[in-house]
Structure 1
Amino acid sequence: MKVLSLCSLLIGSSLLGAATPPVETEPVTVVVSSLVSSTSTVKLYFYNTPEGFLKSGKWAFSKTVKPEGKREFTLPVELPKGEWAVAITQDLNNNDKIDKNFIGIPTEPYAFSNNVRPTVAAPNFNECKFTVEGPGKVVSIVLKD
């Protein structure tokens, strides 16, 4: 009897999950220019909440791009409608982390959506956010060295 109840619960749960409508996404093009290196990996971190912005592991998703000898690249992504922000780093020494100085300021190139250029503190989500409302959104970011 316990096995039958467990099977019913599992089947019911999977049917409920199947009834969840898919999230609608829109095509967004991210254009990154002024790369410091044409060979070092670039990482893009996509955030959709202010609470997790710039916190390690709190991004909605990330992408890694190899510039393949170029100083600019275009990255097509599909994003759900709403507010988004992007943070970018270029790992010049390919150690798979963003290197920082003794007070925590990155020593490798970085950039943010809206080309926000922080001077004293890291920017917040609202400064960097853009809205995805329909197809054709282009986000252009110039990397800072």
Structure 2
Amino acid sequence: MTDLPSTKATLKLYFYNVKENFLKRGNYTMLKYVKPAGSKQITLPIDLPNGEWAVALTQDMNENDLVDRNFLGIPTEPYAFSNNVWPTMRAPEFDECKFKVNGAKVVTISMKK
């Protein structure tokens, strides 16, 4: 992860490998919490089974353990998706964010639009 808005606020990484579950609350395959420890960039080794995966991440700026949203449901805290997908006026789809894991894989996600 690069271009983190905060060097202290917790990052939450939501991993999905089921297309129908993508971005549905509580339906992620795996969730990781990471503290940036003073850095605007983090490298996090994670073993994922082979297959298609997509990642959504948020940074909990007020440390309330929620993804804060406005009245339209749009996150008001920093967020990003694998493949650095930034759709306008809608949430991204699994197929836009997916990447294939078949052995070692490096995925870079920028939190900067």
TM-score by length of 1: 0.76
Tell me the residue number matched to 2:49.
Answer: 80
Cα displacement string for residues 94-144 of structure 1 (whole angstroms, at most 9, x for unaligned residues) = 000011111111110000000000211000100000000122x10000014
- State how many pairs are aligned: 113
Query: Take 2:111 and 2:16, find their aligned partners in 1: how far apart are those partners?
Result: 18
Query: Take 2:78 and 2:112, find their aligned partners in 1: how far apart are those partners?
Result: 5
Moved over 2 A (4+): none
Q: CA RMSD in A?
A: 0.9
Query: Take 2:24 and 2:112, find their aligned partners in 1: how far apart are those partners?
Result: 20
Task: Give 5+ residue unaligned stretches, structure 1.
Answer: 1-31
Tell me the residue number matched to 1:141.
Answer: 109
The residue type paired with residue 9 of structure 2 is: S
Of structures 1 and 2, the larger Rg is shown by 1
> What percentage of aligned pairs have identical amino acids?
60
Query: Take 2:24 and 2:69, find their aligned partners in 1: how far apart are those partners?
Result: 15
Q: Which has the higher helix share?
A: 1
